[in-house]
Structure formats: structure tokens, C-alpha cells
Structure 1
Amino acid sequence: MIRIISSAIGAAFVFVLAIALFGSIKGQITDPVKATAVDDFHLAPKEVELKSNGYFGTFDKRQLQRGLQVYKEVCSACHSLSHVAFRDLKELGYNDAQVKKFAADWQLKAQTFDDKSGDRGERPNVPSDHFPKVYYPGTGSPPDLSLITKAREEGPAYVHSLLTGYTKEPAALLAKYPDSKTPDGLYYNPYFANLNIAMPPPLTQDGQVTYLDGTKSTVDQMAKDVTAFLVWTAEPNLETRHDAGFAAGIFLLIFCFLAWGAYQNVWRDVKH
């Protein structure tokens, strides 16, 4: 009798779950979600070749220095880099004097506060300071770029594709979705989440930045360099992590070999 009652309760429970499941998907069956312009015209980021890619990736310091130059001359007016200290730039190959001058010459100064008078002021940045934050009172600030390649899916590819992806709305988009015209003040970019982005194209022409090392500064090259730099800001210890992972892998292989040898030695005289 108890078994019959238990079976009945179980069947009733399954029946209720089935009704709930059908109710949750009924709308999608009878009235499926219609495709939107984003579904049809949003593009996945294109792969970008960087030395930091892969399990054994490393940083190209010359490229990182070029990327820093692009950030300084193109991006820094709008985007902060507040998780990076000026002294961290020594890892890119700069010496103490260069870092000190770079910090002191930075366009935004460090903020000071006098506890006694309550007055705020400014002073030149020093190597121990982080890059000052960029503020836009009343309008909100654009994203901080320190961790952008970790904060976005397919981070490096996304950043590079976004920077080089500005274009005019395709005629097919307007023909299929007449209401999807890019609003005034926004810019069409098929790699952005909703196709329309408020940031104007930051890299507009070849030669926009004159590289100190003489590299030809095409739009694609500048986008790659600043992307590589932002990979470094998000994970400056990438090379160390890769080296540690490689060493750990070698250790595990040796340990497995020694364990196998010990096993063979201990059991060699045991007859099966």
C-alpha cells in the first residue's frame, strides 16, 4: 500500500513539473521571438594575432610601448587606466628617470586634499601614483580600460574588432529593419552589443600617431598595439603565469615517471 501511495505522489509530482515546463515554453512555441537587427547583423570579433596569445604567449615590449603611446595620444582623454601605476611601466622597458618624467608630464594631475583647510588641489604625478581617473561630471565616465580585455568576452579580439569596425550602416539593414537607423550622436559598429555606440571612431586614419620607433602606424597596426597594451594592463603577470604553468607541467611529468618507476620496483617480484 505504501509503495502504491509513493508511486502516486511521484507521478503527481512529475505531472506538475511537466505542466510547469510546458507553461514556461508554450509562449516560445506558439509565439517565437522574432529576429532583430542585432541578431542578423551583430558580428563576432575577428581573431587578432598577438605574441601574448596561447599557452606560451609572451609580451613584445616594443609593441607595448607603441600601445602605450596610442593610449596616451588617442584614448587617455576619455578612458581611465586607474588600476595601473606609473611605476609599472618599468616592466615595458623604461628606466626610473623615464618613468618619473612620464608621470610628471601626464596631462591629468594627482588630486590633493588638505585635512586642515578642506581645500583640494593638484600636484604632479609621481611614479607611485596610479594613472588619474577621467571624470565627466553629470554625464558619467566612459569605461576604465585597465581590465577591459578581461571584462569582455574574447577580450583582445573584441577590442581590436571594435576599434577597426566602424562603418556605415549596410543598406540591407535599413531595408530589412527600417527602424534601426543609427540615432544622431551614435555610430554604427557591428561588433558592439546593440550595433550603435556613443564613442566616435578613435582611430580615423593612418599616421594618426607617429611612432617613436619608426613603425608604420596604420589603423590596424595602432589597434593591434593598443590592444596588446591593454592585454598587459589586465594581466601584467601573464609571462610569469605561463612560465609557472610550464614548470608545473614538467614537474608533473617527472613525478609521474618516478611514480611509475617506483611502482615497477615495488611490485616487480610479485607474481600475479
Structure 2
Amino acid sequence: MVRIGAFFVGLFFSGWLLVTFLVGAVSFVSEPPAPTAEHEFHLHPKEVSYSFNGPLGHYDKAQLQRGFQVFKEVCSACHSLKFVAFRDLEALGYNEAEVKAIAKNWAIKTPDVDPKTGEMAGRAPVPSDHFPKPFANNVAAAAANNNAIPPDLSLMTKARHDGSAYVYSLLTGFQDQPAELLKEFPDAKTPTGLHYNPYFANLNLAMAPPLTAEGQVTYGDGTKPTVDQMAKDVSAFLTWTAEPKLENRKRAGVAALFFLLIATGLAYMSYRNIWANTKH
């Protein structure tokens, strides 16, 4: 009796779900949602070629160092890297002495307690420290950035679809609003204090274009620092901060596939050897 009751209860809910789905489908076809500026003018990230793309890709340490330089000289004034320590930079090709110098000369001090007074004070970072936040708290961050809190960039390329390409597209995508947008959606004019960028979800963001001119940074390896190059380099660096073990993961994947191919071959040969004389 209980099973029969459960059957009818399940049948009722299944039927209800089916009816709800059909009603929603009919409503969508008969009264489609009104188009929005975000839906019509939002763009997917550009296609960008990186050395770490593909199953056999690897990081270009020279590019990562250039990207770190862009982050240091341009991005670090507003954005943090709270999950990255200075000593992690050794993976980019910096030696121990260089890492110590980078930490010691970092513009933002690491919060610490003064052992003499017991009060909070700042000190020069050491390699074991994580990159210090540029603002003491979210209130200070919002006050300095038009009431918008700059996000931490440690995992940004993991948090966004096509993360590397997204960061690159966002940095190179600032532009004036298209006339077609304002003609079709007069109320979608970018508010004062915001900046139009079709690669951002709602088309407008508080961050002003951070990369504005060629030569904004000076690369030590002689690479020409165009806006496009700087954007590509810093997006590669932020890919590394989010996936520092990417190369190990790809090597492990290739080794696993190689092992599976050999194991499959051995299993097939064993099967043929064991059952070779068996009559069907």
C-alpha cells in the first residue's frame, strides 16, 4: 500500500514538473524576454595565443616576469594578491637575492605589531610574506575607488570563463559607447564615474583604463611595451598566480595517458594470449 501511495505521489510531482515546463516553454515562445543592452552588446573574450595553451603548453618565464612588472607598477596600487607570497616569485626565474630585494622595496608595507609598544605598525615585507593589501580595509578601498572595492587578483583567471583571454580583453576593451547602443537603449548611457567596456558583464565598471599608453612600463628585456603587449603579459602572470602548478598538471596528464595506452596494449595482448587456444 505504501509503495502504491509513493508511486502516485511521484507521478503527481513528475506531472506537475512537466506541466510547469510546458507552460514556461509556451510563455517563452509567445512572449520572449525583452532584449537588454547587456545581452545585445556584451562581447565574449577575444582569442589570444599563449605559450601555456594546449595540453603541452608551458609558461614563458620572460613573459611572466614582464607581467609581474606590469602588476607591480600599474595594478598593485589598487589590487591585491593575497594568496601569493614573495618567495613564490622564484618560480618565475628570480633568485633568492632578487626576491628579497623585491620584498624589501615593495611600496606597501606589511602590517605588524610593534614589539615595543604593542601597536600596529608597518614593516618591510620579507620573502615569506604574502603580497600586502593596498588598502587597510574595504571601507578605505571603496573610498579611494568611487565606492567600488577592487577585487583580489590571485585567482581571477580561475574565477572567469576564458580567464586569461578575459583579463586581456577587459584591459584592452575600454572604449566609447557605440552610437547603436544609445540609439537602441537610450537609458543605457554609462553613468558618470563609470567606464564602458563591452567585455564586462554589465558593460560598465568603476575601474578606469589602467593601461593607457605605450611605454607605461619599461621592460628590461627590450620588449616593446605596447598596451596590447602589457595586457597580454599581465594576463599571463595572473594565470600563473591562479595556476602555479599548471605545467606539473599537464605533465601528469600526459604521463597518465601514456601509462593508460601501455596498460591497454598489455591487457589486450594478455587477453589474446590467454584465450588464443580457446574454441568458441
TM-score normalized with structure 1 length: 0.91
| Whole-Å separation in 1 of the counterparts to 2:267 and 2:11 | 52
CA spacing shift, 1:172–1:262, aligned 2, 3 Å: same
Q: 1:239 corresponds to which letter in structure 2?
A: E
Which has the higher mean CA deviation after the structures are superposed, 31-40 or 183-192? 31-40
Q: How does 1:78-227 map to 2 (within 5 A)?
A: 78-114=78-114, 117-135=117-135, 136-138=138-140, 139=142, 141-227=149-235
Q: What is the total number of aligned residue pairs between the two structures?
A: 269
| Whole-Å separation in 2 of the counterparts to 1:147 and 1:7 | 47
Q: Is residue 2:16 matched to residue 1:54?
A: no
Partner of 2:145: none
| Whole-Å separation in 2 of the counterparts to 1:148 and 1:104 | 26
CA spacing shift, 1:7–1:92, aligned 2, 3 Å: closer
State, as a whole percentage, how many aligned pairs show the same letter: 57
Q: 2:127 corresponds to which letter in structure 1?
A: P
Q: Is residue 2:269 matched to residue 1:261?
A: yes
TM-score normalized with structure 2 length: 0.89
Give unpaired runs (5+ residues) of structure 2.
143-147
Secondary structure, aligned partner of 1:128: coil
Secondary structure, aligned partner of 1:137: helix
C-alpha contact 1:134 1:141 (8 A) present in aligned 2:
no
Q: How does 1:29-40 map to 2 (within 5 A)?
A: 29-40=29-40
Deviations 1:53-112 (A, max 9, x none): 111110000000000000001100000011110000001111100000000000111111
CA spacing shift, 1:16–1:190, aligned 2, 3 Å: closer
Which has the higher mean CA deviation after the structures are superposed, 93-102 or 133-142? 133-142
Structure 1 residue 203: deviation in Å?
0.6
Partner of 2:251: 243
Give the aligned CA root-mean-square deviation in angstroms: 2.3
C-alpha contact 1:79 1:145 (8 A) present in aligned 2:
yes
| Whole-Å separation in 1 of the counterparts to 2:209 and 2:249 | 34
CA spacing shift, 1:200–1:7, aligned 2, 3 Å: closer
Q: Is residue 2:278 matched to residue 1:270?
A: yes
Structure 1 residue 243: deviation in Å?
0.7
Structure 1 residue 137: deviation in Å?
2.7
| Whole-Å separation in 1 of the counterparts to 2:164 and 2:29 | 38
Partner of 2:239: 231
| Whole-Å separation in 1 of the counterparts to 2:16 and 2:102 | 68
CA spacing shift, 1:262–1:188, aligned 2, 3 Å: same
Q: 2:93 corresponds to which letter in structure 1?
A: G
Give unpaired runs (5+ residues) of structure 1.
none
CA spacing shift, 1:7–1:254, aligned 2, 3 Å: closer
| Whole-Å separation in 2 of the counterparts to 1:8 and 1:216 | 72
Q: 1:34 corresponds to which letter in structure 2?
A: A
Deviations 1:166-215 (A, max 9, x none): 01011111111111111110001000001111000001011111111110
